[in-house]
Amino acid sequence: MPVSLKRLLVGLAFSALGNGLTLPLLIVYLHEIRGIPTTTAGLVVAWIAAVQFSFTPVVGWLIEPEHSAWPGWRVRRSAPWSSARATC
């Protein structure tokens, strides 16, 4: 694996860690400062996570369709001339 790719993956790991550490504080901020009920604040944060989870593969495929693992693995796996096998 190239050094630049390792550096990118480490950066993404720190970014994900930062998001995980700040989202609970977002719920506290929405409840304490903005006066939004805790349940509503939790649903807002859950909605953000659900939208991000569902759109990430789609956006990845739109940006770089030939290297995307979704949904291309189905096509490569089903192609009779392909020796590639999906491990998902």
Interval 29-83: pLDDT, tens = 999 999 999 999 999 889 988 898 888 878 877 877 666 555 555 555 555 555 5
Instruction: Give per-residue burial for 5-27: e unless 16+ CB within 10 Å, then b.
Output: eeeeeeeeeeeeeeeeeeeeeeb
Tell me the residue type at 79: A
pLDDT number for residue 53 = 85
Distance CA 85, CA 88 (A): 9
* pTM recorded for the entire structure: 0.54
